[in-house]
């Protein structure tokens, strides 16, 4: 099977390694005379090296995530429960910069040189 040829070389199978780290805590309680449960959790996923399909210069970040969450469960009676949950998620990869444009054309640091670096309007140089 022939792999497709991309700009910069021939594509290869992606190689990388990653791990996840998570903690979870739960505790039973009595609130206003009713049985309840309080839970907390945290997870960082896809901690690892960049993935590459061509060469090291074109390596991309794995989509690492930080998740934090909590839940409160109250037993209303022997047959019914009510749970409130809250979850936060933050992507932990750099955002590409926003380049300055003029009428849809990328503005360069040296307007006379088409190979000069672009002007970054927001963000950081990758």
- Does this model's pTM top 0.75? My answer is no
Q: Enumerate the domain spans of the chain.
A: 11-93, 95-126
Q: What is the pLDDT along the chain (126 residues), one digit of tens a residue?
A: 444 445 556 778 888 889 999 999 999 999 888 899 999 999 999 999 888 887 777 788 889 999 999 999 999 998 999 999 999 999 998 888 888 888 888 888 888 888 888 888 887 776
Among candidates 112, 12, 1, 93, which has minimal Cα distance to 58?
Answer: 12
**Reduced to 3 states, what is the DSSP secondary structure of residue 56?**
helix
């Amino acid at each position: 099977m022939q792999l497709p040829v991309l700009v910069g070389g021939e594509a290869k199978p992606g190689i990388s390694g990653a791990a996840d780290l998570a903690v979870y805590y739960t505790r039973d309680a009595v609130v206003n005379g009713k049985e309840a449960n309080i839970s907390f959790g945290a997870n960082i996923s896809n901690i690892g090296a960049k993935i590459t399909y061509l060469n090291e210069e074109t390596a991309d970040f794995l989509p690492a995530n930080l998740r934090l969450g909590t839940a409160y469960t109250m037993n209303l009676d022997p047959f019914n429960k009510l749970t409130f949950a809250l979850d936060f998620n933050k992507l932990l990869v750099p955002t590409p910069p926003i380049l300055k444009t003029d009428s849809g054309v990328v503005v360069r640091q040296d307007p006379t040189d088409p190979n000069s670096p672009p002007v970054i309007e927001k963000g950081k140089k990758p």
